[in-house]
């Protein structure tokens, strides 16, 4: 079991990720051009690539630390591992490969922006509610 301070910090990170996802989803619905611009900016420079990797690793690690006290630990643990492992892979490949992949895949995903928005809001709410419940336990 992680220490109380580590757990509290990790839970705060999970809540921040949840809030980010809710805000991203709302922006995608209310200001789609802004959301498209934001999402299209990933991996466009080495700095953005490594910042994304750091934030993904932080979020994934926070999910792994908190998963055992979440209402549904398995999905949080799986999602945490997916984030951590894919981040490790992306961290060792040249950022230009990630950039090329993003340039091909992000426009494809943006074709479904309303669905991405709804999924983002749903995931964000699930993270926020779960973090609140885990914090209250």
* pLDDT tens digits, 73-116: 999 999 999 999 999 999 999 989 989 998 999 999 999 999 99
Domain count, the chain: 1
Query: 21: helix, coil or strand?
Result: helix
> What span, in angstroms and rounded, lies between the C-alpha atoms of 6 and 11?
8
Q: Print the domain residue range for 105.
A: 4-136
Q: What is the DSSP string of 61-117?
A: HHHHHHGGGSSSHHHHHHHHHHHHHHHHHHHHS-HHHHHHHHHHHHHHHHTTHHHHH
Residue 61: band (very low, low, confident or very high) from pLDDT cuts 50, 70, 90: very high
Q: Which residues contact 112 (CB under 8 A, 6 or more apart)?
A: none
Give the global pTM: 0.90
The pLDDT mean for the chain works out to 94
């Amino acid at each position: 079991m992680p220490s109380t301070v580590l757990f509290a910090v990790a839970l705060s990170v999970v809540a921040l990720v949840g809030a980010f996802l809710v805000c991203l989803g709302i922006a995608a619905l209310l200001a789609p051009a802004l959301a498209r611009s934001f999402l299209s900016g990933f991996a466009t420079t080495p700095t953005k690539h490594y910042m994304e990797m750091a934030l993904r690793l932080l979020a994934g690690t926070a999910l792994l630390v908190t998963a055992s006290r979440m209402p549904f630990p398995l999905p949080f643990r799986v999602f945490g591992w997916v984030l951590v492992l894919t981040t490790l892979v992306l961290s060792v490949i040249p950022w230009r490969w990630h950039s090329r992949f993003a340039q091909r895949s992000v426009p494809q995903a943006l074709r479904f922006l309303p669905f991405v928005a709804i999924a983002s809001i749903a995931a964000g709410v699930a993270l926020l509610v779960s973090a609140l419940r885990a914090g209250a336990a």
